[in-house]
A = this chain, B = another copy of it.
Amino acid sequence: MSALEQLIEALRRLPGIGQKSAQRMAYHLLQHDRAGAQQLAQALQHASAVVGHCQRCHTFSEHALCPICSNAARDARLLCVVESPADQAAMERTGSYAGYYFVLQGRLSPLDGVRPQDIGVRELLERVSDGVVDEVILATSFTAEGEATAHVLAELLKNRGLRSTRLARGVPVGSELEYVDLGTIAHALVDRRAT
């Protein structure tokens, strides 16, 4: 395989990129933006090398604790549970939330064999047992699997005497949090309901 074909194949691994787009990107980089190709190569290697997970909330972080977990000024009584670092970032960008986060590794999916221990539920239950958290906001997706995950978590939290809430249904049903407009997320946060 030629270097050009290898590059096209590597670009095709990016989400949402098919053969045509990959080809177009490869030709563009080689013909008009070799500096961009170098920049991207270095950014990929640098990020792969230094980006790990926050020990406390498990979002992406270059340090043991992410900037949010390191910020003592946030409200420690609130913990928002999301499915991914992308969802955490979307929530944070609303500017409407002052508590801390816990980032699951996806959501429960019995059909695909994804069980509670696979997405970090045990770590979540440890996290909420600090005696300070008093409301867990379940901000998993409003898909069937996200709702089921929220339901399972709500039961587990109730058994431990912990209060949980869910974002209001202002979030369009069937959608992934990451793609919802920020105003809708902010509104749903204000209207959160007990589970």
Contacts and interface: CB of A to CB of B under 8 A. Distances in A.
Contacts of A47: 3-4, 6-7, 26, 29-30, 37
A143 to B, nearest CB: 17
A36 B48 CA distance: 10
A55 interface: no
Copies in the complex: 2
Q: How large is the interface on A (under 10, 10 to 19, 20 to 34, 35 or more residues)?
A: 35 or more
Nearest to A25: B14
A41 B2 CA distance: 16
Contacts of A37: 44-45, 47-48
A67 B178 CA distance: 46
A43 B85 contact: no
Closest 10 CB pairs of A and B: A10-B43, A41-B44, A13-B36, A10-B40, A7-B47, A3-B47, A27-B86, A7-B43, A41-B41, A15-B28
